[in-house]
Amino acid sequence: MARSYFEQSRQQSHSLYTVARAALEFLGDQWTVLPGPWGTTGHLRSPDRVPFTVGVCEAGHLYLRNDFAGDSTHLPYEPDGADPAFIGRAIAEVIGDLY
């Protein structure tokens, strides 16, 4: 078992913050994004200040969660397997379903 972040056996080619930041291109300039600890999550905030989290669940699946309402959805992409812009577009397409 890894004792530190740097001993993890699987390295991601990009962070979830990078994926969340890529979603901004498709969501618009009124949205904001912040990184989670060590880039393990990305946090989007809508123009009306509703917070969303982009993360990976315990099973290793990418998810998008409305932190205000508690609703979430899984995205059919590997967290490190696709281009961040491609996943960002998918986030922008489904984020409206979580309001």
pLDDT average per 10 residues of sequence, the chain (99 residues): 50 75 92 88 93 89 92 80 84 90
DSSP designation for 58: T
pLDDT mean across residues, the chain: 83
Where do the structural domains in the chain lie, given as residue ranges? 13-98
59 residue type, one letter? A
Give the residue among 59, 64, 89 at the shortest CA–CA distance from 75.
64
Residues contacting residue 33 through CB under 8 Å, at least 6 positions apart: 17, 20, 21, 23, 24, 42, 43, 44, 45
- The pLDDT tens digits of the residues spanning 49-64 come to 999 999 988 888 899 9
